Structure 1
Amino acid sequence: MAADAPDKKEGQIPTNLRLLVLLEEVARRGVAVKPAEMIEAMGLPKPTVHRLMQTAEAEGFLQRDLDGRAYGAGPRLRQLALSIVSSEHLRTARLSILKSVAEELGETCNLAIPDREGMIYLDRVETKWPLRIQLPIGSQVPFHCTASGKMYLSSLKPSVLEAVLRACPLEAATRRTCTDPDALAGELKTIRDRGYSTDDEEFIAGMVAVAVPVRDARNRLMATLSIHAPVQRRSLQDLTAFLPSLQKAAKELAELA
């Protein structure tokens, strides 16, 4: 945590800050955490930590993970994070980078962040071509059949990924959608090794896409940067040729965080 964060020893975290510090710690870890981990991290009594986590869950700031024991960010905490990263000065800088990429590549450029059930489009700059595929800001798209979603899934720990693939129905959006968990897991390993993901008409027939990760200072995926285009204008191979430009822009976006 930040150097100026409160010292997490019993009695050194003011009562009115304990819930905030707990939420900060959950957000910092970036994965679902169990109460025992928070007891150790915060140095507070077990009943206190359980009460704080139950309160945060009841108010929507935390929610139970798939195993029913660990807690991750809830809808209100995710919305708070979204509101912060959407602040005007940050958004202006992001849009400047996205516009530069969209103009250079000539196709729609998207910035997406993971949510509980899919990827959310945080920002986008449309291509100037009249033939385009409309996915407005705020749209939620599936994990398993989109370039941005598969990029996110590839960043998960194996145990977490296995649980996600078991819990989420892999519905076919097109005839090209992969609905076999084992086959998808194999593709995600390839994505993890090569550092980018693709969508070959798997989400929308006639659309191809490529995505790269935007990572934080701890090398964790915090967003994805992608471009998509209709196959009448670009092939998937055409889009992968743009990877150096996308990766450069992803680094510039990471520096804004």
Structure 2
Amino acid sequence: MTTEKTENSGQIPTNLRLLMLLEEVAKVGVPVTPSVVNETLGLPKPTIHRLFATAEAEGFLQRDIDGRSYSPGRRLRQLSINTLSSERVRTVRLAILKSLALKVGETCNLAIPERDGMFYLDRVETHWPLRIQLPVGTEVPFHCTASGKMYLSTLRPDYLDRFLKNYALEPQTESTITQPAKLKVELDATRERGYATDNQEFMPGMTAIAVPILDNRGRLLSTLSIHAPEQRRHIPDLIDYLDDLNEAARELSGVAGR
């Protein structure tokens, strides 16, 4: 089916309308109203509202706090995780992670943003006996992890301000940034340099660096990070591997876009 046909409501088969609606909501990347989505789909007004109501009732969409906008719900987020974890894609993804882990000699992680923190989607462990145990499926805070700070740095300024106003910046270690203004400065620096660090902010004795994995529209899809014990790798040591990290992120971006 061509784009020209799908933009005409009369050419969208009934059984594709809900799928295309979900696709448009996910594509926008921020809470969106039915009327904005319908600028692309061009469906009758009762139909578009009925589809949104169905998707919300079944957990694929959730209503935003303004009562009018919608964003991906629990089932749609889980669907994206399951899609990213499909066996063929994961085989290639793990090969890239293993290659990076061999180069840097430390644990490499792939994480995606969830509602309350970063979700560890994949992980390749270092061969060293001394390692940080954060298995696949672990969810870690946004504000004190390299992957979380990388994600926060990509938020729109107004969304970031709301996050910093309402999110509890709970201390995890003595190094955790708990002041919103100070964290905002750190996120500005992260955005400028293109990578995030965690210098024992989430866990005592752990250092980390993270870079973004972008989708085909240049938006953050997930993060790629290196974790290491501080006694083995200080932050400058991890930054030495930034070129390798970015190259692996570009490869992973290509895999995710297939």
In structure 1, the partner of 2:136 is 137
- Look up the SS of the partner of 1:188 in the other structure: helix
Residues 107, 126 of structure 1: 8 Å contact kept: yes
RMSD of the alignment, in Å?
Answer: 1.6
Q: How many equivalent pairs are there?
A: 256
Q: Distance in 2 between matches of 1:10 and 1:220?
A: 28
In structure 1, the partner of 2:87 is 88
4+ runs of 1 displaced by more than 4 Å? 2-6
- Look up the SS of the partner of 1:110 in the other structure: strand
Structure 1 residue 88 displacement after superposition: 0.8
Which AA in structure 2 matches 1:230?
A: P
- Look up the SS of the partner of 2:245 in the other structure: helix
In structure 2, the partner of 1:220 is 219
- Look up the SS of the partner of 2:176 in the other structure: coil
Q: Distance in 2 between matches of 1:64 and 1:181?
A: 27
Structure 1 residue 47 displacement after superposition: 2.8
Q: Distance in 1 between matches of 2:46 and 2:166?
A: 31
Residues 66, 163 of structure 1: 8 Å contact kept: no
Structure 1 residue 36 displacement after superposition: 2.0
Match status 1:101 vs 2:107: no
In structure 2, the partner of 1:57 is 56
**CA deviation profile, 1:199-247 (whole Å, cap 9, x unmatched):** 0111111101000011111111101000011111111111111111101
In structure 2, the partner of 1:72 is 71
Q: Distance in 2 between matches of 1:76 and 1:33?
A: 18
In structure 1, the partner of 2:228 is 229
Residue identity over aligned pairs, in percent, reads 61
In structure 2, the partner of 1:127 is 126
What residue ranges of structure 2 are gaps of 5+ in the alignment?
A: none
Structure 1 residue 67 displacement after superposition: 3.8
Alignment map for 1:70-219 (pairs within 5 Å): 70-219=69-218
**CA deviation profile, 1:3-58 (whole Å, cap 9, x unmatched):** 55851333322222211110011122222212221122211233322221122111
Q: TM-score, normalised by structure 2?
A: 0.94
What residue ranges of structure 1 are gaps of 5+ in the alignment?
A: none
Which AA in structure 2 matches 1:238?
A: D
Q: Is the alpha carbon distance of 1:183 and 1:68 closer, same or farther for their aligned partners in structure 2, counting shifts above 3 Å?
A: farther
